[in-house]
Structure 1
Amino acid sequence: MFLDLLMAPLTAPVTGLTWIAEKVLDQAGAELNVKENLGKQLLTLQLAVDMGEISEAEFERQEEELLLAIQALEEQEAAMSGFDD
């Protein structure tokens, strides 16, 4: 315990950077999962229209919603990468 307090000024920057890196990785993983799920929903939708389970009009409506959500994620990713430069 006492040694931890003495070493804190030396280890705090590394500990802080590690914490920040973990948070960035968590956020990136979550965004990837959302984008992956939207892609899977798009494939499921395509299968549903191919099998005649939904109408072409319903397919187009849902497809547009999914594509807009994917586009919004990509724009968000592009904006975030712009902050890194």
Structure 2
Amino acid sequence: MGLVTEIVALPVAPFRGIAWVLDKVVRAAEQEYYDPGPVQEALADLERKRQEGHVDEEEFEQREQALLQRLEEIRIYRLSQAGPDGT
């Protein structure tokens, strides 16, 4: 039966390959989008700019709030992706 199944499924093989590649691309994009590292670096850079006087308090607070919201979004996403045992 394995040979018959392979012959019948042959016409859809390219689509399965495309779906596999698209799945890998989506996973890589999600991994990059939900990486907290760049957001944490942006927060540190923003703090440095504030201390050096390149950013005033109002702008600092606005940008800091946006970055903290982004970190919260990343945290929520990662928790939703974790298994029941937290891994």
Give the TM-score band, short-chain normalised: 0.5 to 0.7
- What residue ranges of structure 1 are gaps of 5+ in the alignment? 1-18
Is 52-61 or 74-83 further displaced after alignment?
74-83
Judging by fraction of residues, say which structure has more helix: 1
Tell me which stretches of 4 or more aligned residues in structure 1 moved more than 4 Å: 25-30, 82-85
Aligned length: 72
- What residue ranges of structure 2 are gaps of 5+ in the alignment? 1-19
The residue correspondences of 1:1-80 to structure 2 (distance < 5 A) are: 26=28, 28=31, 31-32=34-35, 35-80=36-81
1:23-75 CA distance string (max 9 Å, x none)? 8x84546633xx10000000000000000001011000000000000000000
Please state how far the C-alpha of 1:81 moved relative to its aligned partner. Answer: 1.1
RMSD (CA atoms) = 3.3
Give percent identity, aligned residues only: 21
Q: Is the 8 A contact 2:34 2:77 kept in 1?
A: no
